[in-house]
């Protein structure tokens, strides 16, 4: 019988990406529902009784932690995998209680390891039930939820969103999760920031990294004399701009120093590049 999976993530693009990765890594598994809020996740779990539930921790109305608490009462309870943007301190809680998790944005290598563990746990489920293993899994999940609640309001441990802002002055560095490591990106090395769904893509001299925050929130922590908004979804480090090029119909684009891509400038920001 094919394993059954539930995916709950309030970001449809990420939910689809997770679905696609699972279909590739675990083709024999059946995704019985993909939902985007906690209430729908619980309803789908009651309807389909999935063997595994992938739950985004932060969802509107009812969080993934709230859903997990309800799932513990199921007979048998599904295995829970949290999809999270939590930082390393919170991840230690996951490791300590041996409850699986997948970091946002999903990394195929990490998800593949999770799938291998899920396969092993499902294969041993019958024996585990006889020996009280299911109760052990539920106990570990309960302990994890209690621990996460101590890390912040609503179970909200610090996200991988920018941290490093001094109480006075501007942001000096950005912490971004890349694979299994927290990368420290000096603001001086940031070339531009690009909004993508609920994430910001930080493009720097050392590469690219996603952080879970809004562009507006991040840009408010940056020096406005250096970081200019040029589009609704783009902020550029003016020190990295080589020139502004006139396009057709009065449009502008920016050429960057030592970069091949160009950045479009929205009409309302074109005045920033008028000849002095």
Same domain for 55 and 127?
Answer: yes
Same domain for 20 and 110?
Answer: yes
Inside any domain, residue 147: yes
> Domain residues for 223?
173-273
Instruction: Quick: pLDDT tens for 52-72.
Output: 999 998 887 788 888 988 988
Give percent of the chain with pLDDT exceeding 90.
37
Inside any domain, residue 168: no
Same domain for 128 and 212?
Answer: no
Same domain for 146 and 222?
Answer: no
Inside any domain, residue 161: no
- The CATH number assigned to the domain holding 222 equals 2.40.50.1020
Inside any domain, residue 166: no
Same domain for 51 and 132?
Answer: yes
Residue 219: predicted pLDDT: 87
CA distance 233 to 196: 8
Same domain for 107 and 194?
Answer: no
Inside any domain, residue 253: yes
Inside any domain, residue 228: yes
pLDDT at 129 over 90: no
Inside any domain, residue 261: yes
Region 142-152: what's the mean pLDDT?
60
- The CATH number assigned to the domain holding 35 equals 3.40.50.2300
**Average pLDDT of the chain to the nearest whole number:** 81
Instruction: Quick: pLDDT tens for 1-45.
Output: 799 999 999 888 889 989 999 999 999 999 999 999 999 999 999
Q: Length of the chain in residues, anyone?
A: 276
Residue 275: predicted pLDDT: 66
Same domain for 135 and 224?
Answer: no
Inside any domain, residue 162: no
Instruction: Quick: pLDDT tens for 258-276.
Output: 999 999 998 888 888 876 4
Of residues 176 and 228, the one with the higher pLDDT is: 228
Of residues 100 and 164, the one with the higher pLDDT is: 100
Region 190-205: what's the mean pLDDT?
90
CA distance to 50, 127, 134, 198, 235, per residue, from 75 (Å)? 11, 16, 10, 35, 50
pLDDT at 48 over 60: yes
Task: Tell me how many domains the chain contains.
Answer: 2
How many angstroms from the chain centroid is the CA of residue 179?
11
């Amino acid at each position: 019988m094919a394993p059954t999976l539930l995916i709950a993530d309030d970001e449809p693009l990420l939910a689809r990406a997770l679905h696609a990765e699972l279909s590739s890594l675990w083709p024999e598994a059946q995704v019985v529902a993909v939902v985007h809020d906690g209430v729908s996740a619980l309803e789908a779990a009651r309807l389909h009784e999935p063997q595994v539930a992938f739950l985004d921790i932060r969802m509107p109305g009812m969080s993934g932690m709230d859903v997990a608490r309800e799932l513990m009462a199921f007979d048998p309870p599904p295995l829970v995998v949290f999809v999270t943007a939590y930082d390393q301190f919170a991840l230690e809680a996951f490791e300590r209680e041996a409850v699986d998790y997948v970091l946002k944005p999903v990394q195929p290598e990490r998800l593949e390891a999770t799938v291998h563990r899920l396969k092993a746990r499902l294969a041993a489920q019958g024996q585990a039930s006889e020996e009280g293993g299911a109760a052990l899994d539920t106990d570990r999940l309960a302990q994890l939820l209690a621990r996460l609640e101590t890390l912040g309001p609503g179970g909200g441990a610090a996200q991988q969103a920018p941290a490093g802002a001094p109480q006075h002055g501007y942001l000096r560095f950005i912490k971004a999760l890349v694979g299994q490591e927290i990368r420290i990106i000096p603001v001086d090395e940031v070339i531009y920031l690009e909004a993508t769904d609920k994430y910001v893509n930080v493009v720097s001299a050392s590469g690219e990294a996603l952080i879970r925050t809004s562009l507006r929130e991040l840009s408010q922590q940056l020096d406005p004399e250096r970081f200019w908004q040029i589009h609704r979804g783009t902020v550029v480090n003016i020190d990295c701009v080589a020139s502004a090029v006139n396009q057709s119909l009065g449009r502008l684009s920016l050429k960057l120093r030592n970069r091949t891509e160009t950045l479009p400038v929205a009409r309302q920001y074109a005045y920033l590049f008028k000849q002095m």
